[in-house]
Amino acid sequence: MSRRRLLLGTLLGPPLCGIIVAGLLTAAWLVVGRPTPTQGETWFRLEQVVSEAHFNGNLDQPFFFLLVGSDAREGGPGGSRGDSLHLVGVNPAQGAATILGFPRDLSVPIPGSGNNKINAALQFGGLDLMTQTVSQLVGVDIPYAMVTDFGGFIGMVEEMGGIDVNIPAPMHDVNAGTNFDPGPLHLDGHGALAFSRDRHSFGSGDVARSENQAYLMLQALTQLRNQHTGATGTLGLLGILGRHVELKGVSFNDLYRFARLALATDPATVRNVVTPTGGGTGADLALGPGAQELFQDFRDDAVLQTH
């Protein structure tokens, strides 16, 4: 199967907002002419993993895409594992969406590699294999997937001016770098990364971490909807993106439609759900009771009716 790839700047490590940003950039190109982006660090890669995929903006079809935050970083353990995994399903007709998270230690079948941690698929075969693994697990076609790393995450949050969150419980995890007390807090890039990585402050570990990552995406979406809906705000955002974006082989019309779809989605209508896990630890963490029912509820229309 042929593949087309796109390098794209976005706002968050595992964000829904990258789709918004990409479309806003495209919309400005259509209005003022395509600028020549200044060379900078590539923040985000968006890959069309199904060659015949074409997002036409139809309001009668649900749409699925995968968001991946890798652990690749300077001074890190080497390789690139998909430690933040979220499958986003949008139902334009209902104006609703679901973010389905996957704990990184979940043991699943990886095509060509047997059972292993789900996060290992990225290291074994890149974004293609990561997407195939999740697609096979949930039973949905995923035409697009996106990935960023630690450096891209920090840089994008910094240039968007940080993200406002509400800390749900004491977060003091030396491994993640959190030292947060409950209550409202404005996070810079490093703080947002720490918030996204913390799993030791919660009894549910990776489940809470996955929930918090999706929560951060929704906070960023809310912030974008409030700040960048007009022409002036959009152009200001383009100034940030233009220093970090490289586009290759994807339809500008598709990206524009992505943006319209995302900006039309009220964050209050987006469900944030984590795949249930069962017994075992580490690479033997199994799917929990109700997981298959959850996938079935999700894949028919991207909206959860019974979960």
Q: What is the pLDDT of residues 252-269, one digit of tens each?
A: 556 566 666 666 778 999
- Is pLDDT larger for residue 264 or for residue 202? 202
**pLDDT for 140:** 95
Q: Per-residue pLDDT for 28 more than 90?
A: no
**pLDDT for 83:** 84
Mean pLDDT of 193-211: 92
**pLDDT for 77:** 66
Confidence of residue 248 (pLDDT cuts 50, 70, 90): very low
Mean pLDDT of 141-166: 87
Q: What is the pLDDT of residues 204-243, one digit of tens each?
A: 888 899 999 999 999 988 887 887 656 555 555 655 665 6
**pLDDT for 13:** 38
Q: Which of 47-61, 70-84, 162-176 has the highest mean pLDDT?
A: 162-176
- Is pLDDT larger for residue 37 or for residue 129? 129
**pLDDT for 218:** 93
Instruction: Work out the percent of the chain whose per-residue pLDDT is above 70.
Output: 68
- Listing DSSP states for the chain in one string gives ---EEEE---SSSS-SHHHHHHHHHHHHHHHH----PPP-----EEEE-STT------TTS-EEEEEEEE---TTSSSS--EEEEEEEEEETTTTEEEEEEE-TTBEEEETTTEEEETTHHHHHHHHHHHHHHHHHHHT----EEEEE-HHHHHHHHHHTT-EEEEE-S-B--TTTT--B-SEEEEE-HHHHHHHHH--TTSTTTHHHHHHHHHHHHHHHHHHHHHHSSSHHHHHHHHHHHTTT----S--HHHHHHHHHHHHTS-GGGEEEEE--B-S--GGGBPBPTTHHHHHHHHHTTS--S--
Q: What is the pLDDT of residues 284-304, one digit of tens each?
A: 678 999 999 999 999 999 999
Q: Write down the mean pLDDT value for the chain.
A: 78
- Is pLDDT larger for residue 25 or for residue 166? 166
Judged by average pLDDT, the poorest of 19-23, 94-98, 187-191, 236-240 is 19-23
Judged by average pLDDT, the poorest of 3-12, 142-151, 169-178, 179-188 is 3-12
Instruction: Work out the percent of the chain whose per-residue pLDDT is above 90.
Output: 42
Q: Per-residue pLDDT for 273 more than 60?
A: yes
Q: Per-residue pLDDT for 164 more than 80?
A: yes
Q: Per-residue pLDDT for 128 more than 50?
A: yes
Q: Go through the domains of the chain in sequence order and give each one's CATH number.
A: 4-161+230-299 (3.30.420.590)
